[in-house]
Amino acid sequence: GGGTSDAPPAARKLRFALIPKSLDIPVFDYARIGGERAAAALGVEVIYRGPDRADELRQKEVLESFITQKVDGIAISVLNASFLTSTIDRAVDAGIPVVTWDSDAPASKRLAFYGVDDYRSGIVMGEETAKMLNGKGTVAFITSLGANNLARRLEGAREALAKHPGITILETYDIKEDSVRTGEIIATGTNRYPNLGAWISVGGWPVFSANALAPVPPTTKFVSFDTVPSAITLLRAGKVQVLLGQKYFGWGEEPIKLLHGIINGRKPTNPIIDSGVDVVTAATVDAYEAAWKAMVAGGK
Amino acid sequence: MKQLWQVREVSTLMILVLEVAFFTWYLWPSDGGHPFLNVGNALLILKYSSIYGIAAIGAAIVIITGGIDLSSGAVIGLTSVVTGYFFVQADWSLTASALMGLMVGLSAGLASSWLIVGMRLPPFIATLGVMGIWRGAGYIITEARFYDLSAKLPRNWTVVGVSIDWVPPLVMVALAGTFQVLMKRFQWGRAIFAVGGNETAALFSGLRVGLVKTTAYVTAGLLAAISGVVLAVVQGQGKADLANGYELDIIASAVVGGTSLTGGRGSVAGAVLGALIFGVLRNALPQIPGATFYDRVIVGLAVIVIVVMDQIMVRRGEA
Amino acid sequence: MKQLWQVREVSTLMILVLEVAFFTWYLWPSDGGHPFLNVGNALLILKYSSIYGIAAIGAAIVIITGGIDLSSGAVIGLTSVVTGYFFVQADWSLTASALMGLMVGLSAGLASSWLIVGMRLPPFIATLGVMGIWRGAGYIITEARFYDLSAKLPRNWTVVGVSIDWVPPLVMVALAGTFQVLMKRFQWGRAIFAVGGNETAALFSGLRVGLVKTTAYVTAGLLAAISGVVLAVVQGQGKADLANGYELDIIASAVVGGTSLTGGRGSVAGAVLGALIFGVLRNALPQIPGATFYDRVIVGLAVIVIVVMDQIMVRRGEA
Amino acid sequence: MITAGLEFCDVAKAFGAVQALRGVSFTIAAGDAHACVGENGAGKSTLLKILAGIIRPDRGALSWAGERIHFSTPREALEHGIGMVYQEMLAFPNLSVTANIFAGREITNRWGVLDERAMRARTQELLMQLHVPVTPDTSMQHVSTACAQLVQVARALAFDCRVLVLDEPTTSLTDAEVDHLFGVVTRLRQQGVTVLFVSHRLPEVYRLCDRITVLRDGQFVDTFERATTPSDDIVRAMVGREPPRRVPHSSSVPQFPSSPVPQFPSSPALQVRGLSRRPAFEDVSFQVAPGEIVGMFGLVGSGRTEILETLFGLATPDAGQVAVDGQAIYVRSTRDAARAGLALVPENRQRQGLFFNLSLRHNLVLPLAAKQGVGLIRDAGEETAARAQVEALTIKAPHLKVTPDALSGGNQQKIVAGKWLATTPKVLLLDEPTKGVDVGAKFEIHNLIRHQADAGMACLMVSSDLPEVLALADRILVMREGHLRGELPGAGATEETVMRLATHDVDLDRPAGGNA
Ligand SMILES: Nc1ncnc2c1ncn2[C@@H]1O[C@H](COP(=O)(O)OP(=O)(O)OP(=O)(O)O)[C@@H](O)[C@H]1O
Ligand SMILES: Nc1ncnc2c1ncn2[C@@H]1O[C@H](COP(=O)(O)OP(=O)(O)OP(=O)(O)O)[C@@H](O)[C@H]1O
Ligand SMILES: [Mg+2]
Ligand SMILES: [Mg+2]
């Protein structure tokens, strides 16, 4: 199947679907904003839709619904790659260009991927942690069972830590997609392991407010995903040492630009477009914050 | 003979027709093909609705006995896992794996009914506990990973000439028809209604109330397992968190389809229609630009409006 | 006088004590301080349980009238959002923002009861619909983002000399005490029990059945909103998806605490004890190394075992 | 000598501390019609439920024709030919009359498919035999209490049985319906069916049965031959002492000389003009003065319950005015009615009268508390009030904390009558207030009603028990097919004059409204 289609009639606006993993994850809303900015700039329409919670079946339903609607292009953050591969292929075969962002479906016929591999982000988390612990100490993970991207990050982090025999992984806590439970788990875990070396949270749940991290003693390091403003504040307060951020606005912007380009016959030379991951530490926080402010202001 | 108007399922069907008519009008395209009203989309709605619809048949039966089954979502998830395990990990044939999946449903039904009939637990709490157990079992088996069945399944697969996509809707319709007849024209169905209408009277009438309830929960378990097999096979995935939270959607389908939560009243055909009503909403709402964050509100309102409309129709029918 | 054994709450309390004793034994440390049995951990359990416990008081009241409230989780979530909105976005005082949060509970209660009493919808379906609406409203307000209250809240905050951490448990205990008295010693409580026991007879007795139900749902809404305010403060966050799915845990707390889902029987003090039973599980299970994949199964089993034990104790008490 | 048919041998059963049966032994001859009588709570229903396999006895045995029988489920009893009509109304409100009758034992064709036609035909036949004015397809929820009682009987008759057990099947029926029922039962007897009949209406017992077994406090007292035993002896055996001086239904003249010939004030307490609610009743006008007891009689389905329920705000009338104390009232809810000074003692105690989750004490004081709108509950006050009621009505209960399901049917009925009597309304509407109540307690309830009336309360009493109406009413209204057919002074009325108005065989002073 070809990735291009005939140029559409000028009268009609192009309609692109932007599908996140779930509507209830805060960082995806930046992707929406990014996508809408790009759409406004390009004069296309973007429909931001996804499952209301991270439910891969519902995501597939939304994806298929966009295929039958014959939108002009689809940009999707794939909840479960193997689950969506054949559906993505079907879309591409039907002449609807698909690009992935944030989370890829590498085996599919998608035309491009924008983002970082979750596995690689995990490795970065593991390495940063090992560095902070000087290669020895104890680590507890926070994750939510069921989500593939989280599983991939976890895998990467474990792999990275496995290279350091001095580091013991004590626990992997399942917070069941519940940020209230995150606070409870961190408090309980701290109670249980007062001398814990580091926490690694493969999702952003702990850094959305200061409260969850309140019980963590200064001797315990904290590494978390997501670089939202509240997380930056925590990092400045010394509650968090390392934050991993992705190109939240770019998640929306780039795929829409890519789709627009593809429709107009500009296929990306390399399908994997590495967005790079932002590693925010005390050293880089000022620069990151300045960049973030610029991004937020960006389209307004 | 009853007026057509008074047949319970007709008012649900009317609502479905109204809903389809509304979206057809609302989404009428300025040019080109209709994005909602086309065969492909209809198939899509049917395919996804059947996952809910098949289980909703069982939910309706259980609710008619005066009970409730909160474990259906977890059974669907675990069935997909077990089917996946045998198909992918143990490399069994699809049929054998699917049968193992159905065993999950059978065991789930037996476990729930043992708690409810044998231990006299309230169905809500028994099936809530059981739900946690099945969901947890899925995680334990998969260790939070998943089985990818699609690799081993044929591409562009057809069963006796029809695309695999048509199989779930056809299974749903066949099951709905079968159970509609069983519920209306056979002693078993009559017993289900009697137990739900007045359990003491049923007992005093010599009905084996415990047995009747057991069959209801086992049927519900098996039907949820069929949903799970359909999910695993058609979607090619066995994963513990699949169908998480679907139990409420499934129960809502049965209720919107005219099944009364106080027991004794309801219809399996109605439950399937109820599942389709929600299926159309899930399909059509994403087609409305800018409504992203309004989905839940609209679905919530729809539930209320539909049940209110339905009540008005039924009351008018009675008067 | 009743035997102590026969007081409904005592058997729930016994289970809680047994549970604490079990984990104290099981988690006995080989060295150093006990990880489970210490004041800090007890406070932790109390603090998080109060989010469920406060709402469970309302759930018990509604269930005693013969109804059910599936919207409590959504009300908690929306309350946190509204409180967060006024506190962070509109920069109001915490008290004023919390009062706006309570308005959510009031409106939710009024809406549910209007549907149930006025439109005669079954409570399950009415509150299921309403749940979607409130949850959706939270997403619309926040656009799936959240309000960070923690930045504006004082650090090491004390209220009349006690750490803020003690406030939620104290609120829970105070509310449980108040409602226990209202339910047992006031005509209002008697009316709640009467309506749940036999609605027709209540009508014949000249009770304002509709009003009684309305007060029950409004109380439940307000209590869920208090939970929501507590959550917003404890969590330091106002977010639409907070407390997602908690309605089932809240109902389970009430049921484990001896409230019968068929209506007419139950206790608000029991509901709070039920919430503590789950709170201990949520706290202790993660302390058992390697239990991650098993905790759903354990919680599910616990629900069943507790209710079975409870039934046995009650039956023995009666004999 | 009695030929051994059904034999109870030392049957005992205790519910917790309550000894319901203390070793009962007696024999019922095969083919006999045998009555079992006793005061409320004597253990009759318990005995019958043991026979039906619902309750397991603590000790003792049953035998049929010398052979031990033991049923552990109702199903086994049914399969052995024990047909039972339970005292509690046990219907499936969600099913049709036909489905109710055949529940659990449906007729099917050889594919197992329900044979609706055959069942409907059989139902039609049974309903005709018993003269029940409903169709086989009617949903049970729309069937009135009395008709529902007959449907229960039809259920037992629908299948061949060797023993037909009837536990107070006539409490809502008038003599006319009882006649049809007894006709059917007599025909069954001729076919060799053994009948075990429980009733508090001694005349019925005398009409139907050859032998009468008396139970008292769970003990067998004696079995009497009908032919040689006057009813006073039975009553004496039941209560274990001299019977109350005046048994209301032993005579048909008004019983209460204490109440003088009423001098009613000009303004009636309850005035009803042109009240209609089609098709239940039409154009009904009457009034009740303070201190007056008006009896309302009519056959089953004549619309009496509907009138009371409409007056009490449970249904909206099509037309008509109602005034209380000369003040027009418009009741839209039971609350309105209660505030206007009305109270209703409902017909169906299980469904409308009792809270099975509340204690006896709470049950007894609830309507009064609801009326007074008290906030805080005062235990001591309630305890005293409830205890007084229990004594006045001779409610047999171990203590005030029991729930009503632990009480016998008659004692449950006493609670229902007592709780509304205690509210001292301006107008008391009573629907079958003494159904299933034993002779002594009935006397007490009548006394209470009379006492309240003397204190100025207006009473409108619906009863299918004609002797009761004759005994208690100052005035009798007779209903037929939804129309008020006449009014008789209580003093002069006899069973004949009332029945003639209530049934068809009389010249009409007005053209018939309803269709037959
Ligand atoms: N389920 C029960 N639990 C506790 N006590 C019971 C129960 N059923 C009956 N009893 C008690 O057993 C005794 C006998 O009751 P039973 O119903 O047999 O009386 P009865 O002779 O049928 O009276 P009635 O004429 O009022 O129907 C009563 O004292 C009653 O309170
Ligand atoms: N809920 C109902 N819906 C429809 N019809 C009803 C309903 N209740 C009663 N009826 C019908 O109304 C008529 C009057 O019934 P009602 O119960 O008032 O009679 P009644 O004189 O009190 O007799 P009884 O109480 O002895 O049955 C009957 O024909 C009955 O079938
Ligand atoms: Mg009895
Ligand atoms: Mg009547």
Q: Render A20-62 in DSSP notation, one character per residue.
A: -S-TT-TTHHHHHHHHHHHHHHHT-EEEE---SSS-HHHHHHH
Condensed to tens digits (0 to 9), the pLDDT of residues C116-171 reads 999 999 899 899 999 999 999 999 998 888 898 888 888 777 777 778 888 999 99
Condensed to tens digits (0 to 9), the pLDDT of residues C187-246 reads 899 999 999 999 999 998 888 899 999 999 999 999 999 999 999 988 888 999 899 889
CA distance D405 to D350: 9
Looking at residue B157, its pLDDT comes to 76
Given a cut of 50, is residue A298 above it in pLDDT?
A: yes
D200 Cα to the center of ligand 3, angstroms: 10
Condensed to tens digits (0 to 9), the pLDDT of residues C220-232 reads 999 999 999 999 9
D142 Cα to the center of ligand 3, angstroms: 26
Residue of D366, D403, D432 to mutate for C, most C C-beta atoms under 10 A: D366
Cross-chain residue pair D351–C196, CB shorter than 8 Å: no
Cβ-based contacts of A178 with chain C (< 8 Å): 244-245
Mean pLDDT of A277-294: 92
Eight-state DSSP code of residue C70: T
Listed in sequence order, the residues at least 6 apart from D128 whose beta carbon sits closer than 8 Å to its beta carbon are none
More confident residue, B6 or D436: D436
CA distance A156 to A164: 14
Task: Mark out the alpha helices in chain A (DSSP H runs).
Answer: 28-42, 56-69, 81-93, 118-133, 148-162, 179-192, 229-236, 248-263, 285-298
User: Which C residues in the span 232-271 are in contact with D, Cβ-Cβ below 8 Å?
Assistant: 263-265
Q: Centre a 10 Å sphere on the Cβ of residue D226 and count the other Cβ atoms it contains.
A: 17
Give the confidence band of C286 by pLDDT, cuts at 50, 70, 90.
confident
Q: Whose CA is nearest to atom 4 of ligand 2?
A: D142
Cross-chain residue pair C186–D355, CB shorter than 8 Å: no
Looking at residue B4, its pLDDT comes to 56
Exposed (0-12), middle (13-18) or buried (19+): which is D385, by Cβ within 10 Å? Answer: middle
CA distance B203 to C41: 50
D472 Cα to the center of ligand 1, angstroms: 28
Which residue from B106, B104, B53, B68 is spatially nearest to B240, judged by alpha carbons? B104
Listed in sequence order, the residues at least 6 apart from B227 whose beta carbon sits closer than 8 Å to its beta carbon are B50, B51, B52, B54, B55, B72, B76, B79, B243
Looking at residue B250, its pLDDT comes to 96
- Work out which ligand 2 atom sits closest to the CA atom of D432: 25
Looking at residue C10, its pLDDT comes to 85
Cβ-based contacts of A32 with chain B (< 8 Å): 292
Which residue from C191, C223, C227, C196 is spatially nearest to C207, judged by alpha carbons? C191
Q: Does A233 touch chain C (CB under 8 A)?
A: yes
Q: What percent of chain A has pLDDT over 90?
A: 56
Ligand 1 binding site (Cβ under 6 Å of any ligand atom): D 15, 18, 20, 38, 40-46, 87, 396, 405-411, 436
Q: Which amino acid is at A179?
A: S
Looking at residue C317, its pLDDT comes to 58
**D87 pocket-lining for ligand 2 (C-beta < 6 Å):** no
Chain C residue at shortest CA distance from A208:
C148
Q: What is the pLDDT along chain D (516 residues), one digit of tens a residue?
A: 456 789 999 999 999 888 999 999 999 999 899 999 999 889 999 999 999 999 999 999 999 888 898 898 999 999 889 999 998 878 999 999 999 999 988 999 888 899 999 999 999 999 999 989 899 999 998 888 888 989 999 998 888 889 999 999 998 888 888 999 999 999 999 999 999 999 999 999 999 999 999 999 999 999 999 989 888 889 889 887 665 554 443 333 344 444 444 444 557 899 999 999 988 899 999 999 999 999 999 988 888 999 999 999 988 999 999 999 888 998 888 888 888 889 999 988 888 889 999 999 999 988 888 877 767 888 888 899 899 889 888 888 888 989 998 898 888 988 998 888 888 889 999 999 988 888 888 888 898 889 888 888 999 999 988 889 998 999 999 998 889 988 888 888 888 888 888 886 544 444 443 333
Cβ-based contacts of B199 with chain D (< 8 Å): none
Would you list the DSSP string of chain B? Answer: ---GGGSHHHHHHHHHHHHHHHHHHHT--SSSS-SSSSHHHHHHHHHHHHHHHHHHHHHHHHHHTT---TTHHHHHHHHHHHHHIIIIIS---HHHHHHHHHHHHHHHHHHHHIIIIIS---HHHHHHHHHHHHHHHHHHHHTT-EEE-TTTSPTT-EETTEEGGGHHHHHHHHHHHHHHHHHHHBHHHHHHHHHHH-HHHHHHTT--HHHHHHHHHHHHHHHHHHHHHHHHHHHTEEETTTTTTHHHHHHHHHHHTT--TTSS---HHHHHHHHHHHHHHHHHGGGSTT-GGGHHHHHHHHHHHHHHHHHHHHHHHH-
Size of interface B-D (CB pairs under 8 A): 76
Looking at residue A11, its pLDDT comes to 54
Partner residue opposite A24 with nearest CB, options C241, C283, C293? C241
Given a cut of 60, is residue A8 above it in pLDDT?
A: no
Q: Whose CA is nearest to atom 18 of ligand 1?
A: D43
Q: Which amino acid is at A220?
A: T
Measure D130 CA to nearest chain C CA, in Å: 30
Residue of C204, C261, C315 to mutate for D, most D C-beta atoms under 10 A: C204
Q: Which amino acid is at B234?
A: V
- The alpha carbon torsion through A32, A38, A40, A41 (nearest 10 deg) reads 170
Identify the chains in contact with C, defined as 3+ C-beta pairs within 8 A.
A, B, D
- Peptide bond before residue D279 is cis, with ω within 30 degrees of 0: yes
Question: Which ligand is closest in space to the CA of residue B200?
Answer: 1
Looking at residue D348, its pLDDT comes to 86
Residue A134 CA: distances (Å) to CA of A168, A194, A238: 13, 19, 19
Cβ-based contacts of D367 with chain C (< 8 Å): 205-206
Measure B216 CA to nearest chain D CA, in Å: 16
- Provide the token pair at D155: 């259920």
Given a cut of 70, is residue A9 above it in pLDDT?
A: no
Looking at residue B5, its pLDDT comes to 55
Q: Domain ranges in chain D? A: 4-239, 270-503
The answer to whether domain D4-239 has CATH 3.90.1720.10 is no
- DSSP 3-state of D483: strand
Mean pLDDT of C44-72: 96
Q: Do domains D4-239 and D270-503 have the same CATH topology?
A: yes
Condensed to tens digits (0 to 9), the pLDDT of residues B281-304 reads 989 888 887 777 888 899 899 889
CA distance A200 to A187: 14
Mean pLDDT of C82-110: 95
Cβ-based contacts of A23 with chain C (< 8 Å): 139, 144
Eight-state DSSP code of residue D63: E
Q: Does C9 touch chain A (CB under 8 A)?
A: no
- DSSP 3-state of D506: coil
Radius of gyration of the CA atoms of chain B, in A: 20
Tell me the CATH architecture of domain D270-503: 3-Layer(aba) Sandwich (3.40)
**Contact between residue B243 and residue B16 where contact means Cβ atoms under 8 Å apart:** no
Given a cut of 90, is residue C306 above it in pLDDT?
A: no
Q: Centre a 10 Å sphere on the Cβ of residue A168 and count the other Cβ atoms it contains.
A: 13
- Work out which ligand 1 atom sits closest to the CA atom of D38: 21
C270 Cα to the center of ligand 2, angstroms: 44
CA D295, D299, D305 angle in degrees (round to 5)? 60
- DSSP 3-state of C225: helix
Mean pLDDT of A111-129: 92
Helix and strand numbers, DSSP H then E, in chain C: 12, 4
Q: What is the mean pLDDT of chain C?
A: 90
**Contact between residue D205 and residue D332 where contact means Cβ atoms under 8 Å apart:** no
Looking at residue B247, its pLDDT comes to 94
Task: Mark out the alpha helices in D191-322 (DSSP H runs).
Answer: 202-208, 231-239, 304-311
Looking at residue D260, its pLDDT comes to 45
Which residue from D425, D433, D422 is spatially nearest to D329, judged by alpha carbons? D425
Cβ-based contacts of C186 with chain D (< 8 Å): 375-377
- Work out which ligand 1 atom sits closest to the CA atom of D200: 25
Q: Whose CA is nearest to atom 10 of ligand 2?
A: D144
Eight-state DSSP code of residue C149: -
Measure C201 CA to nearest chain D CA, in Å: 4
Condensed to tens digits (0 to 9), the pLDDT of residues C247-277 reads 999 999 999 998 988 889 999 999 999 999 9
Radius of gyration of the CA atoms of chain D, in A: 23
Exposed (0-12), middle (13-18) or buried (19+): which is D1, by Cβ within 10 Å? Answer: exposed
Partner residue opposite D103 with nearest CB, options B185, B186, B207? B207
**D303 pocket-lining for ligand 2 (C-beta < 6 Å):** yes
Residue of D145, D332, D355, D379 to mutate for C, most C C-beta atoms under 10 A: D355
Condensed to tens digits (0 to 9), the pLDDT of residues A31-60 reads 999 999 999 999 999 999 888 888 888 999
Q: What is the mean pLDDT of chain B?
A: 90
Looking at residue C318, its pLDDT comes to 57
Eight-state DSSP code of residue A9: P
Give the confidence band of A300 by pLDDT, cuts at 50, 70, 90.
very low
Identify the chains in contact with A, defined as 3+ C-beta pairs within 8 A.
B, C
Would you list the DSSP string of D164-215? Answer: EEEESTTTT--HHHHHHHHHHHHHHHHTT-EEEEE-S-HHHHHHH-SEEEEE
Instruction: Residue count of chain C, please give it.
Output: 319
Which residue from C8, C7, C42, C5 is spatially nearest to C23, judged by alpha carbons? C42
Listed in sequence order, the residues at least 6 apart from C112 whose beta carbon sits closer than 8 Å to its beta carbon are C69, C71, C123, C126, C127, C130, C217, C220, C221
Looking at residue B60, its pLDDT comes to 97
Looking at residue A216, its pLDDT comes to 93
**D301 pocket-lining for ligand 2 (C-beta < 6 Å):** yes
Cross-chain residue pair B44–A56, CB shorter than 8 Å: no
Q: In which region does residue D170 sit, left (phi positive, over 0), alpha (psi from -120 to 50) or beta (all else)? A: alpha
**Contact between residue A22 and residue A147 where contact means Cβ atoms under 8 Å apart:** no
Measure A210 CA to nearest chain C CA, in Å: 6
Give the confidence band of A3 by pLDDT, cuts at 50, 70, 90.
very low
pTM: 0.90
Residue D426 CA: distances (Å) to CA of A111, B264, D429, D456: 85, 40, 10, 8
CA distance D19 to D59: 12
Partner residue opposite B145 with nearest CB, options A45, A49, A151? A151
Partner residue opposite C200 with nearest CB, options D351, D358, D366? D351
Cross-chain residue pair B300–C125, CB shorter than 8 Å: no
D122 Cα to the center of ligand 4, angstroms: 26
Size of interface A-B (CB pairs under 8 A): 86
Looking at residue B1, its pLDDT comes to 44
Listed in sequence order, the residues at least 6 apart from D304 whose beta carbon sits closer than 8 Å to its beta carbon are D296, D297, D298, D431, D462, D479
